[in-house]
């Protein structure tokens, strides 16, 4: 079997009724995976509107029409019980679970001074708690299987973070915080599950979807060729991370878009200062730190952080 083949593997993709999740589910199926297509089905990108089974059903039907195997799950991954039911559906349907792609999310954008408690809680709940819930049940299953077999098992988790966490996003404090939390969840899970044979990685995708339609205003779809912001630029990386070929890739954060993949380093020390005595005084901190940040406004200090900036070219 090819190192890229997913034949015989079972995958769950959350938020797979549209956009990135749909492209990821189709890509995994194309490489042979059996896919549980999860989507809550709310029409609004803020999670508003009545839930519907139709988006997940449509993608599952599309996979089956292409000769693949798929079932739909209409459920809220941020609900602990429903996340458990999602994992059980994969196990009950095909007797295994090998791949978990956490993609479901919503937006409630507002500046920090205008954001309501509900807007904060809802976004953190769907993104961060949703990732935790599904990961919890998948991890428990893989740990149990590993103990039963006495060795490592096949398990892949691909989480969805965002450059909003890496670079900051002034109008998305809830979203940026949740995406940062997902990176922490990813690295913690990677360390906890490695001994069972399970890898856990996160991606920061740029893609033109329902959630990002206003973010990419001015970056129009080209008249010819594939849109550089098409979700189809992201899904091959997800399939790779889910494949046997990526068995040594663990605890990583990767930015992906338009034919580019960047592996991000963990934060590095930019400068280090030691006290001359047992404990720093404010005068000593002023003497050491103020010159390091001197000559820049708070905005310029923030902007000096090296990020992968979005460019029209």
Between the alpha carbon of residue 73 and those of residues 35, 58, 123, 142, 266, the distances in Å are: 10, 11, 21, 21, 35
Give 183: exposed, middle or buried? Use CB within 10 Å, 0-12, 13-18, 19+.
buried
Specify the residue for token string 């189709």. 26
| Cβ neighbours of 250 (radius 10 Å) | 20
Give the tokens for residue 11.
């995958």
Q: How far is CA 172 from the centre of its chain?
A: 16
Between the alpha carbon of residue 30 and those of residues 160, 266, 274, 301, the distances in Å are: 21, 33, 56, 46
Complete DSSP assignment for 216-271 = TTT-PPPSSS--TT-GGGTHHHHHHHTSGGGTT--S-EEEEETTEEEEPPPP----
Asked whether the beta carbons of 265 and 26 are under 8 A apart, the reply is: no
Asked whether the beta carbons of 174 and 159 are under 8 A apart, the reply is: no
Residues serving a catalytic function are 162, 175, 179
Asked whether the beta carbons of 17 and 72 are under 8 A apart, the reply is: no
């Amino acid at each position: 079997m090819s190192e890229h083949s997913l034949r015989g593997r079972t995958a769950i993709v959350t938020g797979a009724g549209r956009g990135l999740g749909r492209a990821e589910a189709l890509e995994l199926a194309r490489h042979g995976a059996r896919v549980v297509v999860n989507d809550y089905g709310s029409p609004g990108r803020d999670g508003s509107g009545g839930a519907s089974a139709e988006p997940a059903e449509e993608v599952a039907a599309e996979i089956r029409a292409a000769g693949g195997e798929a079932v739909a799950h209409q459920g809220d991954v941020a609900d602990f019980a429903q996340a458990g039911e999602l994992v059980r559906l994969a196990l009950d349907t095909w007797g295994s679970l090998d791949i978990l792609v956490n993609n479901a999310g919503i937006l409630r954008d507002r500046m920090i001074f205008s954001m309501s408690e509900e807007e904060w809680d809802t976004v953190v709940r769907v993104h961060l708690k949703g990732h935790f819930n599904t990961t919890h049940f998948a991890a428990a299953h893989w740990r149990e299987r590993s103990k039963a077999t006495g060795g490592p098992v096949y398990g892949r988790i691909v989480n969805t973070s965002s450059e909003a966490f890496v670079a900051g996003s002034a109008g998305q404090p809830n979203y940026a915080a949740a995406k940062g939390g997902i990176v922490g969840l990813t690295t913690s899970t990677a360390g906890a599950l490695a001994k069972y044979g399970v890898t856990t990685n996160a991606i920061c995708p740029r893609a033109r979807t329902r959630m990002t339609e206003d973010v990419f205003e001015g970056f129009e779809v080209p008249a010819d060729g594939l849109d550089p912001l098409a979700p189809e630029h992201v899904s091959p990386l997800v399939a790779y991370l889910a494949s046997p070929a990526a068995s040594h890739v663990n605890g990583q954060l990767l930015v992906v878009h338009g034919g580019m993949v960047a592996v991000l380093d963990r934060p590095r020390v930019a400068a280090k200062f030691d006290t001359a005595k047992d404990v720093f005084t404010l005068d000593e901190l002023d003497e050491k730190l103020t010159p390091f940040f001197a000559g820049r406004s708070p905005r310029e200090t923030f902007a000096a952080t090296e990020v992968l900036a979005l460019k029209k070219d």
